[in-house]
A and B are shown apart, each in its own frame.
Chain A
Amino acid sequence: DAGITQSPRYKITETGRQVTLMCHQTWSHSYMFWYRQDLGHGLRLIYYSAAADITDKGEVPDGYVVSRSKTENFPLTLESATRSQTSVYFCASSEPMGETQYFGPGTRLLVL
């Protein structure tokens, strides 16, 4: 049971570069979420998706783009990375929305 996976687990990039973080789940959950975790801020929702081709903004969407062409994948793209986007990024899924969320292992991103 693979569950929910994220790749890469660690990423170092430079300011201005485009970066894509991948998220894949094997449960066929309808809902998927992207959070960033920063000390003192807890988990902040970036974007979420209710189904394939349906996405919506969360609390901190600026500078991020998502897509969901398939139910099992929910990639997050930083179009032009900034230092303020250095963080730990978690993907999660649930079924239905509002119920238990299952988190991936996280991607630790450093923007130089």
Chain B
Amino acid sequence: GQQVMQIPQYQHVQEGEDFTTYCNSSTTLSNIQWYKQRPGGHPVFLIQLVKSGEVKKQKRLTFQFGEAKKNSSLHITATQTTDVGTYFCAGGTSYGKLTFGQGTILTVHP
């Protein structure tokens, strides 16, 4: 079946440093979604990318979808303590299923 791999599993940064998490699918995706889960909370939708090579920005967050629609990344510029949490990618297929990556747990040290 479809597999979505996400790396790294953990990332510790100093406040102000940049952070990137990567997502790779074993199959071509129809879309990729990103979610954030604060400690003790539930996953919350951030964004969806649909087009090959698409880049979207939300303030300090930049999301990219690869040209082959098999990989994606989330980059945070100048991390803040409010960025802590687990970031999940979720790959969508043409028949509608979402497969979540394992998530990247981000810790930001002040």
How many residues in A have their beta carbons less than 8 Å from beta carbons of B? 21
Q: For chain A residues 17-53, which have a beta carbon within 8 Å of chain B?
A: 35, 40-45
A90's nearest neighbour on chain B, judged by CB, is B42
A contacts with B: majority SS? loop
- Decide: A42 and B45 in contact? CB cutoff 8 A: no
Q: Mark B17-31, 1 if CB is under 8 A from A, else 0.
A: 000000000000011
**What distance in Å separates the Cβ of A99 from its nearest Cβ neighbour in chain B?**
8
B39 at the interface (CB under 8 A from A): no
> A-B contact count, CB below 8 Å?
50
**Cα of A42 to Cα of B102 in the assembled complex, Å:** 4
B45 A40 Cβ-Cβ under 8 A: no
The number of chain B residues with a CB under 8 A from chain A is 26
CA distance A101 to B45 in the complex (A): 7
Q: Chain A nearest CB: distance from B93 CB in Å?
A: 8
Chain B, Cβ-Cβ closest to A59:
B1
Q: Does A100 touch B at the CB level, under 8 Å?
A: yes
Q: How far is the CB of B17 from chain A (nearest CB, A)?
A: 24
The 4 tightest CB contacts between A and B, nearest first, are A98-B96, A97-B96, A42-B102, A43-B100
* Residues of A bordering B, CB below 8 Å: 35, 40-45, 59, 90, 92, 96-106
